[in-house]
Chains A and B, each alone.
Chain A
Amino acid sequence: MEFVKPGTYIDFMRWSRPVITVSLTLVVLSILSLVVWPKANLGTDFAGGTEMQLKFRGNINSEELRAALDDLGYSRPDVLAVQGKRNEFIVRVSEISSIPVSRQRTIEANATRAFAEGGRATEFNFSQGGDKILLRFAAAREAADIESVLERAGVDVRAVAPYGAAEEFRYEVQLVGIGDEIVAKLSERLGSRGPEPALRVEWVGPRAGEQLRDAAIKALLYTLAFIMVYVAFRFDLRFAPGAILSLAHDVLITLGIYVLLQREVAISTVASLLTVLGFSINDTIVVYDRIRENMQRERGKSLREIINLSTSQMLSRNIITQGLVVACIVPFIVLGTPAVQDIALSLAIGVLVGTYSSIYIAAPVTEWLDRRFFRATSLVKQAPRAKTAEASA
């Protein structure tokens, strides 16, 4: 059985111009999708979320609770059973109870005005997670008084508690937020089995901060540099830029499509982009290797022809390997949990883009460099006929 008949020769290079144009457009669109619209949909890993601990009145397991939260429209709820305590769970959702900045300003202005008499508010800060207000007064104030002023200013208050040194008159105001909303909705849905008032509700910071992002970018740049050196050393300097461009191309387009589909960007997305990188290098090198071999065997042919020939010869291998890798990924898209589905999806996109870039980005760039800058010392020995034809042209 053969997918590609032996001896097939396809003139890939004929289409290189339009295809490269399409690629460039895709790269630009990917960058735009990242920085202009619709921008990455950052998951709890990068953006933080709300975490709460709930105790239920009746029996419930984590699968049922997760399904209930999913149905109620919370994206990717994390449900962890607290071991050793029946029906107690830690729930994490990516929604946060944040009040828009413009409304925060109005609330602050209203409240500060109302606080003008009897112990002026010297500080008025919304917490990072938007679920608390931190207040400081010039003199002592009643908690009930603070609550009523804030309610009138337009926020729903759950509790007011003093904190810090007594002479500093600081108060922490807990606002009604996503936690209360979840408790209310779950009670309605589960009836008598529903949750007791939340044991605690807190904003959680991202697990992966700038440190991870910076490390990933640094790693990416160093990888590209080292691969460039390796390719220049094992093959030829002319092969290196093509390899690097095709890698950058693959990573960018994969990320672009992923962002356009508005899938959640998590730590695992970074890992799968790096896998795409590894896969894409491998693919490019295999095609390069055949080009190098054919340059020695098929003397007299132009680099263009050699690229066509090599790509055609590797076509069968490419189809099979790519097909098998995708076949390996597809079951995860069908059967996986949302998190695994996302990983599988980004890998599938990356593998497909990677195959195409090793045909249409890496080799054509090499050919172009050779033609444009290294005519005198071209990689291929042209037949005398071709040389004179070029010279007369």
Chain B
Amino acid sequence: MDRNWYFRLTVVLAAVTVAWLALWPSLGSLNPDGSLARGSILPAGAVAPKWVRDTFRGRISPGLDIRGGLRLMYQVQVEGYITEERNRVAERLLREVGVALRLLTDEEANDPPAAKLDAVRERVTVKRVGASSIRLVFKNEADARRIDRDWLAENHGQFRLDASRRNGPKEVFITYRDAQIEEMRRTAVAQAVQTIERRIDALGLREATVSGRDSDIIVEVPGADQRAFDEIRSIISRTARLEFKIVDESAGWMPGPEVQLPAGVERAGGNLTAKGNAGRDALASFIEDLPIPEDHTLAVGDAGESEGQTVWRVYYLLDATEVTGDDIESASVQFNEQEANRPVVALQFKDRGAVDFEELTGRNVGKSMAIVLDDRVMSAPTINERIAGGRAQITLGSGFGQNLMDEANNLVVVLKSGALPARLTASNEQMIGPSLGPAAVREATKAATIGIGIILAFMLLYYQFAGFVADIMVLVNLLLQLAIMAAFEATLTLPGIAATALTVGMSIDANVLITERIREELRAGRTARAAVDQGFDRAFWSIFDGQITTLIAGVVLFQFGTGPIKGFSVMLMIGMITSLFTGIFCSKVVLEWYVRGLKRQHIPVG
């Protein structure tokens, strides 16, 4: 045997050894009570030694149907979503009424001169009422009559006039139609489901399911790993609403000295500050009720550290949000040049967002821009110049090392998958048992064993020695596939067991093709050695083309698929690669040894 053959043999043996070590720890976790092993090919009670468990950390985890998992229920705060939609309308309404009163032209409505807008304000005030209504208070009745049913139908068909709730003829009271509220509720829940699905996909191959109903969202996560649950929880319920707002440095919002401040909140340098998480929450709830102009808003943000605790301060912001997380094309974790160990999240805007961002920064040179994430100011850098190119970065608050890194990674996941349309509150959480009983799992493993058994027996009978080699390759292939699944931390469900058995059935094709070819070559009168060489050479391209086309299908499915389809495509690709390896590479090593090493003149191929 030549050196090349020894090299290939080493590769095969190394692959098998590593695969076994990678799979070993999973056998224990898949099969805690030995129930999976009965009547199946998995060896019972195979507990890996500690060093193996420590080196190979990936495990195949049993899916929801086999072992159950955690079931999380969230309620979508639809009210908040509706209020926001209403606020968006209210922001535009003043200008639209201005047009209706002929104080503004259609062109001016988008960017009205301040003087003209003041003229509109003279004649009407827009007030937000409750969660879903708006009250317009006019100076005179004739103006109020302009905003009639027809005007509303044309401009805001989703609203209706509610005469019963206005105080006199100088007012117009509009409120969302019920059908519209129902529609918004559905949209909010559907969007939330999609966003959560994207977020879970971004976490990897976990076969979690997401479903929505009325205003609830149910997420089911397989397994029992508390760390994984924590990660999923933190990623799901995060609204991830990112906004860029301009800071108003005036102190018009500050409560007078007579106002009683809550415990932990102090006056400092024309602002309010608080320390630690408790202080932050007290501060946040205190500023919620402060009277401020309608076009402004208050938010709490990080102001550095003191005595090991984060100090929080209040930011007085212009309410108008021109650039939001929706305008982000991508997000990634990067490291700051000055502080090498502090990760920042770098953002790249979409084309439209980049233009808006450039305009926003251009208009506000010299002012500060607050980066607000979920109503908290992450940072508020001063705008030194117009920022073109559509890039921005978020510096993370206080925190250290791994925590900060996890925080940065989570932020990237949630920013990429988009903001939730409304806030979620966790409403219920329970551990659930498997949806299938142990009997069903046993039957399925039995079926898989029988199926693979039939293949092994047939190959041995029909192709004799070549069949025996193929059988070994089938088992090696199964080992490799499971090992790769373990490395990917894949979830094994009952349909997954069926799919694995099927891939094994399909992987036998390479051996059938090669052996049939060897048979043909022997019939054509070649020596055993030449037949083996020719068999592999000629069968190679048809196997290769067949597998490559299947691989194309796998790659495309991975690219476009979501959730279960993505998981499936990965299994498909793994199967293709391992069966190319065992079918062509490994079997060749064995058959070459037989005809060259042992120098047999005759090769039993049935």
Residues of A within 8 A of B (CB): 1-2, 6, 48, 51, 61-63, 66, 78-84, 90, 122-123, 125, 127-129, 134, 136, 138, 165, 202-209, 211-212, 215-216, 218-219, 222-223, 226-227, 230-231, 234, 267-268, 270-271, 274-275, 277-279, 281-283, 285-286, 288-290, 293, 313, 316-317, 320-321, 324-325, 327-332, 334-337, 339-340, 343-344, 347
Contact = CB atoms under 8 A, between A and B. Distances in A.
B538 A293 contact: yes
B341 interface: no
Interface residues of B, number: 86
A344 B556 CA distance: 24
Contact of B498 (A267, A274, A281, A332): A332
Contact of B502 (A1, A226, A274, A329): A329
A81 B68 contact: yes
A324 B454 contact: yes
B431 A219 contact: no
Contacts of A66: 437
B508 A324 contact: yes
Interface stretch (B138-146, B372-380, B439-447): B439-447
Given A90-B432, A215-B565, A222-B560, A325 B194 contact: no
B435 A328 contact: no
Contact of A325 (B68, B498, B502, B550): B502
B193 A209 contact: yes
A48 B447 CA distance: 30
Contact of A282 (B446, B504, B547): B547
Nearest to B209: A207
B553 interface: yes
- Give 9 nearest A-B pairs by CB, closest first: A81-B433, A328-B505, A289-B542, A83-B431, A328-B451, A331-B447, A282-B546, A219-B560, A63-B437
B508 A83 contact: no
Nearest to A337: B440
B505 A230 contact: no
A324 B463 CA distance: 13
B454 A327 contact: yes
A316 B216 CA distance: 56
A286 B542 contact: yes
Given A83-B431, A204-B218, 10 more contacts: A62-B434, A62-B437, A82-B430, A83-B432, A90-B432, A205-B211, A208-B564, A271-B564, A274-B553, A313-B520
Interface centre among A62, A125, A209, A331 (most CB of B within 10 A): A331
A205 B213 contact: yes
Interface of B: 68, 71, 130-131, 164, 178, 182, 186, 190, 193-194, 197, 209-214, 216, 218, 430-437, 439-440, 443-444, 446-448, 450-452, 454-455, 458-459, 461-462, 494-495, 498-499, 501-502, 504-506, 508-509, 512-513, 516, 519-520, 523, 538, 541-542, 545-550, 552-554, 556-557, 559-565, 568-569, 572, 606
B446 A278 contact: no
Contacts of A226: 552, 556
B475 to A, nearest CB: 14
A332 B446 CA distance: 9
B439 to A, nearest CB: 6
A343 B213 contact: no
Contacts of A331: 446-448, 450-451, 454
Contacts of B569: 274
Contacts of A316: 516
B223 to A, nearest CB: 13
B516 A317 contact: yes
A212 B446 CA distance: 32
A195 to B, nearest CB: 17
B545 A125 contact: no
A336 B498 contact: yes
Interface centre among A63, A286, A320 (most CB of B within 10 A): A320
Given A125-B182, A270-B565, A285-B542, A82 B436 contact: no
Given A227-B553, A328-B455, A334-B447, A274 B431 contact: no
Chain B at the A interface: SS class: helix
A343 B433 contact: no
Nearest to B131: A165
Contacts of A51: 213
A122 B560 CA distance: 45
27 contacts: A6-B520, A61-B437, A82-B432, A83-B430, A84-B430, A136-B178, A209-B193, A219-B557, A227-B549, A234-B545, A268-B495, A270-B564, A278-B550, A278-B554, A281-B549, A289-B541, A289-B546, A317-B513, A321-B509, A321-B512, A331-B451, A332-B498, A335-B446, A335-B447, A340-B444, A340-B447, A340-B498
Contact of B563 (A48, A127, A212, A325): A212
Contacts of B448: 331-332
Contact of A274 (B216, B433, B557): B557
A203 B216 CA distance: 11
B546 A275 contact: no
B550 A282 contact: yes
A343 B509 contact: no
A113 to B, nearest CB: 20
B493 to A, nearest CB: 9
Contacts of A80: 68, 71, 432-435
A335 B523 contact: no
Contacts of A330: 451
A223 B553 contact: yes
A276 to B, nearest CB: 10
Nearest to A67: B437
A223 B545 contact: no
A285 B451 CA distance: 26
Contact of A337 (B444, B451, B553): B444
A343 B547 CA distance: 23
Given A6-B523, A215-B565, A337 B443 contact: yes
Contacts of B554: 278
A388 to B, nearest CB: 33
A325 B71 CA distance: 37
B549 A230 contact: yes
Contacts of B194: 211
Contacts of B499: 271, 275
Interface centre among A6, A209, A337 (most CB of B within 10 A): A337
Given A80-B433, A84-B431, A270-B565, A128 B560 contact: no
A262 to B, nearest CB: 20
A118 B164 CA distance: 16
